[in-house]
Chain A
Amino acid sequence: MKVLTFHGGIHPANDGKALTKDKEIRPVRPKQEMVYPLSQHIGAPAKPIVAKGDRVLAGQMIAEAGGFVSAPVHSTVSGTVKGIEPRRTISGSISDCIIVDNDGLYEEVAWPPKRDPESCSGSEIIEAIQKAGIVGMGGAGFPTHVKLSPKEPDKIDYVIGNCAECEPYLTSDYRRIMEEGEKVVAGLRIILKLFPKARGVLAVEDNKLDCAAKLKNLVKDDPRITVQLLKTKYPQGSERHLIYAVTRRALSSTQLPADVGCIVQNVDTLYAIRLAVEEGKPLMRRVMTVTGDAVKEPGNFLVPIGTNYEELLEYAGGFKKQPEKIISGGPMMGIAMFDLHVPVVKTSSALLCLVKDEAAKYEPTSCIHCGRCVEACPEKLIPARLAHFSLHNDKEAFQKINGMECVECGCCSYVCPARRHLTHDIKAMKRTILAERKR
């Protein structure tokens, strides 16, 4: 089979996947209090519908969507609402959260009877997904029902299951497919029902041939779904570059995948879609990889949203060495945290604990104009120049050489021999410009 890819990108020397690749997903049942941020997605924050002192059950909606581009939040344990107060979240900022005192009983709400997705209409499917609070679980957190409601549904001709998992160290998607691949495929079939003219593609990097073989076997009788191998390269799973690899359609920062006839869904999102449509269950748990050389027993875990990171770490045996850096997500795009006392949210994909902080090992030196960042940039930008304009606060020049097209994948900083913080500088400038545009 032809292996597809895009231009640029990097091959990390150590992808760290061997640490957890063979570790089966283990359930986590937290005992401590649970914290549910109202903003776990792109769009308006959810609005609380419970009050202090209320008893809630696992699976009960505790905050409703704050608009069309928004998503509800559900409790993942049974217990009492302790309050709605500002708490620290992964990014280090403080935002409003619903706090539930976990009684450890895990009493669940009464689930509706199971449905056959084949008999569901399109609007029923979208409604189920919206009510389940499903958002893009690859990291962006875009509400899935919005993604599935393009202006012209008839123009969608590709629904792509993003099984690339290009981020180093992460194996949660891989494990999900190896253990419950049929349910992921079922999720894709449900979406294909919404877009009758589309074909489904499950895109897998060629370092996971067993995963591709399993998926191929699962879809062998389905004429609408194919499995596509992709070159193992970071950021192969980036939405724009995945679409390009599969369809040869390139899209810019001002377009959505639907503009080029594509819908892309992450593995865990597909899983959640099946659960919502078939079983009427909301998004309550996700698979997370807890890994890194500082962790005693790295592994994959099925984690209820709202679990404290510290409690999650205990399931992996805690630290065997004191880490210098802890990261929510992978090493390329994850967020460094200064504190473990934050809750797992819908977009948390991993907890990575590193004994040595590679990024801080060397001070940045002068740019020598080597062009490695230009070669690596999947967006064909000139990162060194963009970072230069960022440091000089030259917004006009920054936009003129297409700075806003940056996808913040981190390839430029990764390859920079002068150890410059290119991605950081470019990101900072993008934020400034976006904030000004809003005003």
Chain B
Amino acid sequence: MSELYHVSASPHQRAAVRTTHIMQMVVVALLPAAIFGIWHFGYRAALHILITIAACVITEYLYEYFMHKTITVSDFSAVVTGLLLAMNLPVAAPLWIGALGGVFAILVVKQLFGGIGQNFMNPALGARCFLLISFAGHMTNFTYDTYSTATPLATLKETGVLPDVSSMITGNIPGTIGETCTIALLIGAAFLILMGVISIRIPLMYFLSFVIFMGLFGKGGIGQGFEIHFLAAHLAGGGLMLGAWFMATDYVTSPITKHGQLLYGILLGVLTGIFRCFGNSAEGVSYAIIIGNLLVPLIEKITIPKPFGKGGERQ
């Protein structure tokens, strides 16, 4: 034989998009909201972001190094986790909290279950809930302009006073670093949809079912919640935009089937509604998504698509 050529099974052509590109696009999509957060809350927000990302990347590197696994930090998924987690922290929280959360997200939620693609819940959300339970005081300390304040939704829940929605949309409210500015989050979401990174299925069903649920059960009664101002405040507040566009759409922890994605979106909307209407917390997005994550295997099981030709009788 004169020359040796590569031999492999077809196809011999591949699309250009790789996992790394997808993760980088998610980072880019999160940037508008993150930059707004830094501008809105000050340099301390930037410190939180840097520390949390560094904690995630270093944890992933060290774990893989000592476990003799392939080092995957260059795929940017740890950066995404770190950035998302930091955007879920209140700026007044101590700086070590992001580092601790980052270690928890990568080590416990991601790597111990087998690394990228194997985690059963979103690492950033898992870490956020861990921090929320362990350090409730720090994690709900929304000191803003040196005044200790509550988020608009918390105020709404306690006093029934509707917040100013226009400042919720422009982000001029207390909250976590990345959740306040609806416009910045929507810009990022539009980018992800245009680039084909996420589909609109999950967020759309999330919003739809949430609005219907809040309309029916919000403000103490059947149907009393169907009021534009009230619904807009709930849509723009409490991390719903950040959660629905960037965390509910996390590939690994959302269903792979189309119908599963629709069902998952509906489930998240209903859960968030339940938590906000009947729960103690004013927000509920994180817990709704985490519970949704746990139900994904079940959802996928009942939504296996009918194959193309099955039942293809003559018409």
- Taking CB atoms, residues of chain A closer than 8 Å to B16 are 13
Residues A358 and B252 in contact, CB atoms below 8 Å apart = no
Residues B308 and A365 in contact, CB atoms below 8 Å apart = no
- Taking CB atoms, residues of chain A closer than 8 Å to B312 are 249-252, 255, 260
Residues B309 and A250 in contact, CB atoms below 8 Å apart = yes
CA–CA, A382 to B3, complex, Å? 38
Residues B117 and A367 in contact, CB atoms below 8 Å apart = yes
Q: Does A213 contact B (CB under 8 A)?
A: no
Q: Does A51 contact B (CB under 8 A)?
A: no
Residues A382 and B9 in contact, CB atoms below 8 Å apart = no
Q: Does A78 contact B (CB under 8 A)?
A: no
CB A15 to nearest CB in B, in angstroms, measures 10
- A374 and B304 in contact, given A325-B12, A366-B117, A367-B117 (Cβ under 8 angstroms): no
Cross-chain contact of A358 among B13, B115, B118, B304 (Cβ < 8 A): B13
Residues A365 and B19 in contact, CB atoms below 8 Å apart = yes
Q: Give residues of chain A (387-431) contacting chain B, Cβ–Cβ below 8 Å.
A: 401-402, 405, 408, 410-411, 413-419, 421, 423-424, 427
- Taking CB atoms, residues of chain B closer than 8 Å to A329 are 10
CA–CA, A339 to B5, complex, Å? 7
Q: Does B116 contact A (CB under 8 A)?
A: yes
- Taking CB atoms, residues of chain B closer than 8 Å to A384 are 256
Cross-chain contact of A334 among B10, B254, B257 (Cβ < 8 A): B10
- A255 and B13 in contact, given A248-B315, A374-B258 (Cβ under 8 angstroms): no
**Closest residue of chain A to B17, judged by CB?**
A417
- A421 and B9 in contact, given A362-B18, A370-B22, A405-B307 (Cβ under 8 angstroms): yes
Q: Mark B243-259, 1 if CB is under 8 A from A, else 0.
A: 00000000111101110
Q: Does B221 contact A (CB under 8 A)?
A: no
CB B78 to nearest CB in A, in angstroms, measures 13
**Closest residue of chain A to B115, judged by CB?**
A366
CB B305 to nearest CB in A, in angstroms, measures 5
**Closest residue of chain B to A407, judged by CB?**
B308
Residues A417 and B19 in contact, CB atoms below 8 Å apart = yes
Q: Mark B1-39, 1 if CB is under 8 A from A, else 0.
A: 101111111111111111101100000000000000000
Residues B256 and A371 in contact, CB atoms below 8 Å apart = yes
Residues B10 and A333 in contact, CB atoms below 8 Å apart = yes
Residues B14 and A358 in contact, CB atoms below 8 Å apart = yes
- Taking CB atoms, residues of chain A closer than 8 Å to B7 are 92, 325, 336-338
CB B304 to nearest CB in A, in angstroms, measures 6
- A405 and B19 in contact, given A358-B12, A367-B117, A368-B251 (Cβ under 8 angstroms): no
**Closest residue of chain A to B255, judged by CB?**
A371
CA–CA, A7 to B305, complex, Å? 13
- Taking CB atoms, residues of chain B closer than 8 Å to A241 are 308
CB B23 to nearest CB in A, in angstroms, measures 9
CA–CA, A336 to B11, complex, Å? 9
Q: Does B68 contact A (CB under 8 A)?
A: no
- A10 and B15 in contact, given A251-B312, A382-B257 (Cβ under 8 angstroms): yes
CA–CA, A418 to B23, complex, Å? 12
Residues A410 and B10 in contact, CB atoms below 8 Å apart = yes
CA–CA, A361 to B13, complex, Å? 10
- Taking CB atoms, residues of chain B closer than 8 Å to A338 are 1, 4-5, 7
Residues A369 and B256 in contact, CB atoms below 8 Å apart = yes
CB A247 to nearest CB in B, in angstroms, measures 8
Q: Does B140 contact A (CB under 8 A)?
A: no
- Taking CB atoms, residues of chain A closer than 8 Å to B308 are 6-7, 240-241, 244, 250, 252, 378-380, 405
Residues B8 and A359 in contact, CB atoms below 8 Å apart = yes
CB B276 to nearest CB in A, in angstroms, measures 29
- Taking CB atoms, residues of chain B closer than 8 Å to A335 are 10
Cross-chain contact of B304 among A250, A336, A362, A382 (Cβ < 8 A): A382
Q: Does A331 contact B (CB under 8 A)?
A: yes
Q: Does B143 contact A (CB under 8 A)?
A: no
Q: Give residues of chain A (334-353) contacting chain B, Cβ–Cβ below 8 Å.
A: 334-339, 352
Residues B12 and A381 in contact, CB atoms below 8 Å apart = no
- Taking CB atoms, residues of chain A closer than 8 Å to B13 are 12, 14, 168, 331-332, 358-359, 414
Residues B8 and A402 in contact, CB atoms below 8 Å apart = no
- A417 and B256 in contact, given A255-B312, A333-B10 (Cβ under 8 angstroms): no
Cross-chain contact of B9 among A6, A324, A379, A423 (Cβ < 8 A): A423
CB B123 to nearest CB in A, in angstroms, measures 13
Residues B9 and A427 in contact, CB atoms below 8 Å apart = yes
Cross-chain contact of A251 among B6, B116, B309 (Cβ < 8 A): B309
**Closest residue of chain A to B21, judged by CB?**
A417
- Taking CB atoms, residues of chain A closer than 8 Å to B10 are 327, 329, 331-336, 408, 410, 423
Q: Give residues of chain B (230-279) contacting chain A, Cβ–Cβ below 8 Å.
A: 251-254, 256-258, 261
Q: Does A22 contact B (CB under 8 A)?
A: no
Residues A325 and B6 in contact, CB atoms below 8 Å apart = yes
CB A284 to nearest CB in B, in angstroms, measures 28
Q: Does A43 contact B (CB under 8 A)?
A: no
CA–CA, A271 to B5, complex, Å? 34
Residues A365 and B12 in contact, CB atoms below 8 Å apart = no
CA–CA, A423 to B118, complex, Å? 21
CA–CA, A12 to B11, complex, Å? 12
Most buried by A among B16, B77, B305, B308: B308
Q: Does A49 contact B (CB under 8 A)?
A: no
Most buried by A among B5, B11, B115, B315: B11
Residues A260 and B257 in contact, CB atoms below 8 Å apart = no
CB A10 to nearest CB in B, in angstroms, measures 7
Residues B251 and A331 in contact, CB atoms below 8 Å apart = no
CA–CA, A12 to B72, complex, Å? 28
- Taking CB atoms, residues of chain B closer than 8 Å to A6 are 308
Most buried by A among B5, B22, B305: B5
Q: Give residues of chain A (231-252) contacting chain B, Cβ–Cβ below 8 Å.
A: 240-241, 244, 248-252
- A368 and B12 in contact, given A324-B5, A324-B6, A385-B256 (Cβ under 8 angstroms): no
Cross-chain contact of A337 among B5, B72, B310 (Cβ < 8 A): B5
**Closest residue of chain A to B197, judged by CB?**
A370
Residues A369 and B252 in contact, CB atoms below 8 Å apart = yes
**Closest residue of chain A to B254, judged by CB?**
A369
Known: A255-B309, A410-B10. 17 other contacts (CB 8 A): A252-B309, A325-B6, A326-B5, A336-B5, A338-B1, A362-B18, A368-B77, A368-B116, A370-B251, A385-B256, A402-B307, A414-B15, A415-B17, A416-B15, A418-B18, A418-B19, A423-B9
Name 28 interchain pairs, CB-CB below 8 A, sorted by A: A241-B308, A249-B315, A253-B309, A260-B314, A324-B5, A325-B7, A332-B11, A332-B12, A334-B10, A337-B5, A359-B13, A361-B14, A365-B19, A365-B75, A366-B115, A368-B22, A368-B77, A369-B117, A370-B22, A370-B251, A371-B251, A371-B261, A374-B256, A380-B308, A384-B256, A410-B11, A414-B14, A419-B14
Closest 8 CB pairs of A and B: A252-B309, A410-B11, A250-B312, A424-B9, A366-B117, A331-B13, A402-B307, A370-B251
